[in-house]
Amino acid sequence: MVVLTKPEEDLIQQKFEDLLAHCTHCDGKTDQRLIRKAFRMAKEAHKGMRRKSGEPYILHPLAVARIVTSEIGLGAKSVICAILHDVVEDTDYTIEDIENHFGKKVASIIDGLTKISGVFGNKSSLQAENFRKMLMTLSDDVRVILIKLADRLHNMRTLHSMPPNKQIKISGETTYLYAPMAHRLGLYTIKTELEDLSLKYRYPNVYQDLATRVRDNEKRRGHLINSFALPLIDKLENAGYQFDISGRPKSIYSTWNKMQTKNIPFDEVYDLLAIRIVFDALPGIPEKTQCWNIYSIITDNYQPKPDRIRDWVSTPKANGYEALHVTVMGPGGKWVEVQIRSRRMDEIAERGFAAHWTYKQAGKGSSAELDKWIKRIRELLENPDSNALEFMDDFKLNLFASEILVFTPKGQIKTLPKEATTLDFAYEIHTEIGNKAIGAKVNHKLVSLNHILNSGDQVEILTSDNQRASREWLNYVCTVKAKSAIKTALKAETKDRIQKGKQIIEDKLMEYNLKPSSRIFKKLFPAYEVRSKDELYSKIGTGIISLEDIKKILRKNTKNKWIRYWELQFTSSSKNKKSPAKKPATGSYSKSPYMIRENLDDTEPEYNIAKCCNPIPGDDVTGYRSQNGSIDIHKSKCPEAIKLMSSHGNRIIPSRWTTHKILSYLVRIHIQGVDKFGIYNHITTIISKELSVNMRNINLVSHDGIFDGCIDLYVHNTKDLNNLIMNLIKIKGVESVNRVEKIED
């Protein structure tokens, strides 16, 4: 065991006393006593342990606790948890020991911190699973992640003691997860430092170059702030405001990121400086009104840029950020961004949800945005069957994404991720509205369910009681709430079909005094081309299988076993007399055809319909097994299929359709004829009313008494299509109707 030196002992005690002196939210002797108790436990537990830098390990939890109280602004419980955050993971102490000494809440937070410690392990699925476990604790107490961010910040500040490969790994993790998490929680100062430190270790030369350039601009920046503030100071003071004006340079990482995304040099990053005006709110006047008053004073002196006004005082950001931003033409013809905030807004801007948490704990306000965010985390956790890595992607997508604000018809605001669609909005309103959605009106214009929304859109969802969620909808949505609701609806529908089908077959068998058994299913599976009981029940429940011929199927192969034995022997001996069949060449067709089944549940189909020829059920088809294992279905006469047969014969498999009656397939027909009065109406009436076929697109053009064009429509199989063509050709004036092989958008 390594013994601490006297200077080290003195340093540890000094750091602890410094922590106590800066613990501004630790009230009373009880808090002080518990913090001292936690310090003694941690010091004893980490006795003899040292960090990679060689310093005593206990200095790390003390530094984390100092960040927690001074930079984030949390109270005594959080300081205790920060001091003890590595005790359970690295020493013999257990969660039960922590609970016995400090109570359930402290034990719960430390348990959450212990779980997240393994997030970035060697196995990606394990790290994702651990992250998910941590979030379960987070959904009850946000302090878990706040303390973890403090831990990560101190690790980044001391990363120089780690070997280069570890520096790159830890920096990558920080950029991927921790910096976005800090941003999402409104901890802008911590987020900025995490990003800058990550850049420092990932691209040290780039970082040093940008840091030097930013430092060289410091004098010019000070001069600009002074010349900008001078005309405003007297006017603000005359209006009765107590205020501070300061300049905030753009962070090194943010500057680098803008240079990368915009592909511009350093000199062209125009918003390198933001000037911040933080004022003491005057009593009796709403803070929002005071922000706009100060805005008016600024724009009386400087010309604003109309498209660069950001009003986050009327509608705060989803992480609680409130401020009024305006970009004005400053001295020397330079655009300058001005941020206007009250002291309260500034504290929330710097400490984010931590400040909300403090206000809520003190009973001085609510943390509605924090509660909303945690509610969304709970929604992410509601589906325990989802893949852990998929969950990680969903979490990143939904909780770290840029957001848009969308309005309901009555003016209520809904926050959605960027790229959200009208269907996402429908599910955000209510699951049943999503399930019944058929379209939407965006800003009073009719749009489809996959229409991408923009911030400020007003959306009205159109519904129908006959509508049901479909698997295709999963491609329309990006929010976890919508995806989860669609999958749940698809599973419920499949379950209902299975139950209905099971009841139908049991009732049918009862007519013959039979009960379902493995012997009966062995006869039914090949007869109805299904692989399992659930598939059989599902197809019966949807009407694909009618059971009209079940008696005939059950009577098959029920002869006397001796006769069957004789037939077997006779067949075998007959075969022996024949000349042996030639073995197929290596890489040729497999013996049994691949069955293209109708996919009715929420699982991914095993096959893909080739876009080059768009086969539909009933077409003569061929399968091609691609390198990723999926099967592409082509028409047998498709030029692409013929090419594949000649060059990749070993991947070709014979295929045929099973019965398809539920899913519809897109086909295009080309129609020509004499342009007579009312003929278009006659054509559409035949298609939609008489044959109940859905049309996706109709494009008919008339010229010189002749009409010509294409119609895209959905059919179940070739039988339906042929029936449609036959009915259209009977219309007086229609000369030809043909199927178009290749559909091009």
The dihedral through the CA atoms of 533, 537, 543, 549 has a sign that is positive
Residue type (1 letter), 364: K
89 among known catalytic residues:
yes
b/e burial code for range 698-717 (CB count within 10 A of at least 16 → b): eebeeeeeebbeebbbebbb
From the candidates 89, 96, 382, 472, give the one annotated as an active-site residue.
89
Closest-CA residue to 18 (of 69, 55, 54): 69
Strand 665-674 and strand 607-609: the pairing is unpaired
> Are 315 and 323 a contacting pair, CB within 8 Å?
no
Q: What is the DSSP letter of 282?
A: P
Rounded Cα–Cα distance for residues 224 and 275 (Å): 10
The dihedral through the CA atoms of 183, 187, 188, 194 has a sign that is negative
> Are 312 and 324 a contacting pair, CB within 8 Å?
yes
3-state secondary structure of 469: coil
90 among known catalytic residues:
yes
Phi, then psi, of 329 in degrees rounded to 5: -80, 105
Concatenated DSSP letters of 589-650: --SSPEEE----SSSPPSEEE-TTT---TTS-EEEEE-TTS-EEEEETT-HHHHHHHHH-GG
> Are 316 and 369 a contacting pair, CB within 8 Å?
yes
Rounded Cα–Cα distance for residues 427 and 424 (Å): 5
Rounded Cα–Cα distance for residues 361 and 610 (Å): 60
Q: Residue 666 has which token pair?
A: 């897109």
> Are 149 and 181 a contacting pair, CB within 8 Å?
yes
Closest-CA residue to 145 (of 169, 180, 120): 180
Concatenated DSSP letters of 496-561: HHHHHHHHHHHHHHHTTT----HHHHHHHHHHTT-SSHHHHHHHHHTTS---TTHHHHHHTT-S-H
3-state secondary structure of 323: coil
β-sheet with 310-311: strand ranges across:
243-249, 273-279, 335-342, 324-329, 310-311
Q: What is the 3-state secondary structure (H, E, C) of 233-273?
A: HHHHHHCCCCEEEEEEECCHHHHHHHHHHHCCCHHHCCCCE
Rounded Cα–Cα distance for residues 664 and 713 (Å): 9
Burial class (CB in 10 A: 0-12, 13-18, 19+), 407: middle
* CB atoms closer than 10 angstroms to residue 676: 14
Closest-CA residue to 24 (of 56, 69, 60): 69
Closest-CA residue to 486 (of 476, 495, 501): 476
From the candidates 55, 90, 460, 675, give the one annotated as an active-site residue.
90
The single residue listed with the structure tokens 């329309």 is 476
Q: Residue 50 has which token pair?
A: 């040292």
Indicate the length of the chain as a whole number: 745
> Are 370 and 356 a contacting pair, CB within 8 Å?
yes
The dihedral through the CA atoms of 476, 481, 483, 486 has a sign that is negative
Which positions ≥6 away from 624 have C-beta within 8 Å? 631, 632, 634, 641, 644, 648, 651, 652, 653
Q: At what angle do helices 124-138 and 143-157 cross, to 10 degrees?
A: 130
Residue type (1 letter), 597: R
Q: Residue 356 has which token pair?
A: 């909300």
Helices and strands, number each (H, E), in the chain: 30, 19
> Are 551 and 512 a contacting pair, CB within 8 Å?
yes
Catalytic residues: 89-90
